[in-house]
Structure 1
């Protein structure tokens, strides 16, 4: 049984705990929160006895072997680094890191702790539909690009309109549309098509100075891929991959819960709609890696995810720079 400790008590952490429990592979062993009341309420709801308000005491605990991090983006780098240094595995919400320097520093630290495993919780690439699309693309010729869409109106934008600055729209906390929803279609594109030759981001800035929505264009040798994402508006447009007369249609670039192959003659479901907790597939994949350190094939898959994580981090940074966006950096030599 994988013993897990959590940093963060928001809705995504609750969803993760429910998914982890559903796999039968994890046990929630500890909760960290800066606020004791919040930590106790979360722990009690999830039948956990141990609550920490000191991050140092939490990291030093021997009650768990894996840490799930869902703090504001700006804190991920330092918390991941500290977790690895305490020889604990890490599952960190996306974006794990804000630039390649942070990513490389963490990779260097991993070499000093060879038993530790690091995962970025980009759930879409672990979904059955994503894997089905990968298999379908292996048989496809005449690729002509793709459009990936993930737009969901954020209730926190109502706070912005009321004159507040919530963390998810605050560059001081590495917020904004690109660093939040944009990660999902980035994972789609790079996970399916590899690194682009070049990339550019066209953001729509909101009054408090963050990008509320945006369009990114990834240029490949023979086609372009367009990413559209927004936290200030919603969209029901499907994501599509173009291959001659055929189309691979996905519900959207973030959820990736179902996929169809549309040809001139028929529409074929290649992956039916996934209706369970969407974090179950990723938590299952992570448990498989953590429980099978001696399986070469499983560990090669882990290394492929780690490489993909690095490629997404590089492209995220390039997109931000192209738009003049600079996130805070807690990296210290």
Structure 2
């Protein structure tokens, strides 16, 4: 399948490497804000034949079948709509939309174009260790809650401290710790425990009102799940899920490189397998398998199941932001709704 990309940063390069490693994708088309930047990026890959600096031309004249969108968060929604209209399958980095109002419009558009497959690239959802944890949770006779952490110092934070406002620390671009790193933890919670009854976010706000770090509490009928996220420090805290006498322990609730079961006597059983060198390989393989046979009812259902996760994650992210008084520029058209 011919692949087009929006965005020429490190995560795009990592995804292209994973996609081409599947043997199912071939990068042919690149969009960037300048053609020079697109051409410079394209020189790293073998089959690139098209470089665009106009997004409309990219979608209308590009020969690709699948687009990978890795632009700033606030641009994902409009670019996904353009891709649907252009008849392209879509892999869009999380978060797909800034709020449920955008998500509703996107779902309506997809309903009118059932031939289009749209995936939110929540990579860990497709990894073996993620699925192992989900299966192990089902074996616990009792669940008493979880503590999940993902705190990683952002390379852009130095720029913020110097007085700049990078996209990832901007309300205008739907940035912040919750949208960037917390989304992994919300995926964990919803996929492993279901939809919470209520959710509350306690952010550490920076000078412009964006959340540089924060703690979220998701309330379930019989337990709570605590999410710790941040882009202004590094944390080495493990993630833990509590049974009655057993604990599922992971090195990191997003990376999931090491997963263990600790029993009542302290005995440790290793549950994890060694992850792929490229952390995006599992999702690339999953998307490639589905897109290789789009007429399959099983594949259609898989895509719908993954999209359903994206919808619920989007709702919880919005509820968490609302509880903390964090307003994005993308929310403004819907303030009175």
The normalised TM-score by structure 1 is 0.96
Give 2:40's aligned residue: 41
Structure 1, unpaired ranges of 5+: none
Query: Which is worse superposed, 214-223 or 56-65?
Result: 56-65
After superposition, where does 1:2-81 map in structure 2 within 5 Å? 2-47=1-46, 48-81=48-81
Match of 1:96, SS state, is coil
Give 1:143's aligned residue: 143
CA distance in structure 1 between the partners assigned to 2:61 and 2:255 by the alignment: 35
Query: Which is worse superposed, 44-53 or 181-190?
Result: 44-53
After superposition, where does 1:289-308 map in structure 2 within 5 Å? 289-308=290-309
Match of 1:329, SS state, is helix
CA distance in structure 1 between the partners assigned to 2:290 and 2:308 by the alignment: 15
Q: Is the 8 A contact 1:6 1:30 kept in 2?
A: yes
CA distance in structure 1 between the partners assigned to 2:110 and 2:138 by the alignment: 32
CA distance in structure 2 between the partners assigned to 1:299 and 1:249 by the alignment: 34
Q: How far did 1:214 drift?
A: 0.3
After superposition, where does 1:1-333 map in structure 2 within 5 Å? 2-47=1-46, 48-265=48-265, 266-329=267-330
- Judged with a 3 Å threshold, the aligned counterparts in structure 2 of structure 1 residues 330 and 226 are, in CA distance, closer, same or farther, namely closer
CA distance in structure 2 between the partners assigned to 1:5 and 1:330 by the alignment: 29
CA distance in structure 1 between the partners assigned to 2:87 and 2:191 by the alignment: 28
CA-based RMSD: 1.4
Query: Which is worse superposed, 203-212 or 219-228?
Result: 203-212
Match of 2:132, SS state, is helix
CA distance in structure 1 between the partners assigned to 2:287 and 2:256 by the alignment: 18
State the number of aligned residues: 332
Query: Which is worse superposed, 278-287 or 41-50?
Result: 41-50
- Judged with a 3 Å threshold, the aligned counterparts in structure 2 of structure 1 residues 275 and 114 are, in CA distance, closer, same or farther, namely closer
CA distance in structure 1 between the partners assigned to 2:280 and 2:54 by the alignment: 28
Q: Is the 8 A contact 1:152 1:233 kept in 2?
A: yes
Match of 1:143, SS state, is coil
Q: Is the 8 A contact 1:258 1:271 kept in 2?
A: yes
CA distance in structure 2 between the partners assigned to 1:332 and 1:211 by the alignment: 22
Q: How far did 1:332 drift?
A: 7.0
Give CA deviations for 1:291-312 in whole Å, capped at 9, x if unaligned: 1223223322221111110000
CA distance in structure 1 between the partners assigned to 2:178 and 2:170 by the alignment: 12
Match of 1:132, SS state, is helix
Structure 2, unpaired ranges of 5+: none
Q: How far did 1:262 drift?
A: 1.2
Q: Is the 8 A contact 2:172 2:330 kept in 1?
A: no
CA distance in structure 2 between the partners assigned to 1:332 and 1:27 by the alignment: 38
Give CA deviations for 1:195-247 in whole Å, capped at 9, x if unaligned: 10000000001123211000000000000000000000010111111101111
Query: Which is worse superposed, 261-270 or 176-185?
Result: 261-270
Match of 2:87, SS state, is coil
The normalised TM-score by structure 2 is 0.95
CA distance in structure 1 between the partners assigned to 2:257 and 2:84 by the alignment: 32
Q: Which runs of 4+ in 1 moved over 3 A?
A: 330-333
Match of 1:248, SS state, is strand
